[in-house]
Amino acid sequence: MAVTIDDVRHIAALARLGLTDERAASLVNEMNSILGHMDVLSKTDTSGVQEAIGVGAGGLPVRADGGPPIPLTRSLDAFAPALRDGFLIVPRLSTHETPEAS
Domain boundaries, the chain: 5-42
How many whole angstroms separate alpha carbon 16 and alpha carbon 9? 10
Model pLDDT, residue 59: 67
Q: Helix, strand, coil: what percent of the chain each, to 5?
A: 35, 5, 60
**pTM for this entry:** 0.48
Model pLDDT, residue 99: 59
Model pLDDT, residue 32: 96
**pLDDT confidence bin for 22, thresholds 50/70/90:** very high
pLDDT tens for residues 36-90? 999 999 999 988 887 776 666 666 677 888 888 888 898 887 888 888 888 888 8
DSSP string covering 57-95, please?
TT----PPP-SPPPPPSS-GGGTSSEEETTEEE-PPPTT
How many whole angstroms separate alpha carbon 96 and alpha carbon 50? 44
Model pLDDT, residue 55: 62
Model pLDDT, residue 3: 94
Model pLDDT, residue 69: 83
Do 91 and 81 contact (CB within 8 A), yes or no?
Answer: yes
CATH numeric code, 5-42: 1.10.20
